[in-house]
């Protein structure tokens, strides 16, 4: 009896280990792919603020967004993120301020300031676009940190779009924890984000 229990435990541990390496591989591959497609909208996913100041992870997202928008003058951007308990303003408002302060025209920026998760970031952003656009063939580029691209695109597909990804750097201080946390977040999204 004991050997059967040990065998089951070992098999379960091997399955978890295999799933970890498979998911981490997908995360790493997605984080290295940068889309070259022409898009209609960027969706910048929110991340933590320190009061009103973007965290290092959010700042990296904003840097690549700014560079992209300066190069692609016809693209609009949705900044997406609500206000956390320890944040003085919504993440979307902080992102808008950053972009405006760095030369992006305010009329190109759409605020989605109610979301509290990646799923809500994307769902609420897409709802906003669908309210103002009748075109069903819009192309979206999701901006987030490298570790987050795979899950963001996965959720986008579940929400009915074929998204592209624009990966931002990961601050060195959070690389290990970000990739480990993302493994569990992918599993959660696979089960619950519909």
**Residue 121 in tokens:** 């970031």
- Encode pLDDT of 49-108 as tens digits: 999 999 999 999 999 999 999 999 999 999 999 998 889 999 999 999 999 999 999 999
Mean pLDDT of the 33-50 span: 91
Count other Cβ atoms within 10 Å, centred on residue 128: 18
Place of tokens 């695109």: 153
The three-class DSSP label of residue 110 is strand
d(CA 37, CA 55): 29
How far apart CA 190 and CA 155 sit, in angstroms, is: 8
CA angle 123, 185, 161 (to 5 degrees): 30
Q: What are phi and psi of 119, to 5 degrees?
A: -60, -50
Q: What is the pLDDT, as a whole number, of residue 7? A: 87
Which of these, 82, 48, 43, 85, lies nearest to 64 by C-alpha position?
43
pLDDT higher than 90, residue 37: no
* Domain ranges for the chain: 2-192
pLDDT tens column, 112-143: 999 999 999 999 999 999 999 888 889 999 99
Alpha carbon 132 to its chain centroid, in Å, reads: 22
Classified by CATH at the fold level, domain 2-192 comes out as: Rossmann fold (3.40.50)
Q: Is the pLDDT of residue 34 over 80?
A: no
């Amino acid at each position: 009896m004991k050997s059967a229990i040990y065998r089951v435990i070992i098999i379960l541990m091997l399955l978890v280990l295999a799933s970890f390496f498979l998911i981490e591989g997908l995360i790493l591959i997605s984080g290295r792919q940068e889309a070259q497609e022409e898009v209609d909208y960027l969706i910048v996913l929110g991340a933590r603020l320190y009061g009103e100041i973007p965290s290092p992870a959010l700042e990296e997202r904003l840097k690549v967004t700014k560079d992209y928008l300066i190069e692609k003058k016809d693209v609009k951007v949705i900044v997406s993120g609500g206000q956390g308990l320890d944040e003085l303003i919504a993440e979307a408002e902080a992102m808008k301020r950053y972009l405006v302060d760095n030369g992006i025209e305010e009329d190109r920026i759409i605020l989605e300031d109610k979301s509290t998760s990646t799923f809500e970031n994307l769902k609420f952003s897409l709802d906003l676009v669908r309210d103002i656009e009748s075109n069903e063939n819009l192309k979206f580029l999701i901006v987030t940190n490298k570790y987050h691209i795979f899950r963001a695109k996965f959720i986008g597909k579940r929400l009915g779009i074929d998204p592209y990804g624009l990966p931002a750097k990961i601050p060195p201080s959070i690389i290990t924890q970000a990739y480990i946390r993302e493994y569990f977040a992918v599993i959660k999204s696979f089960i619950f984000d519909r």
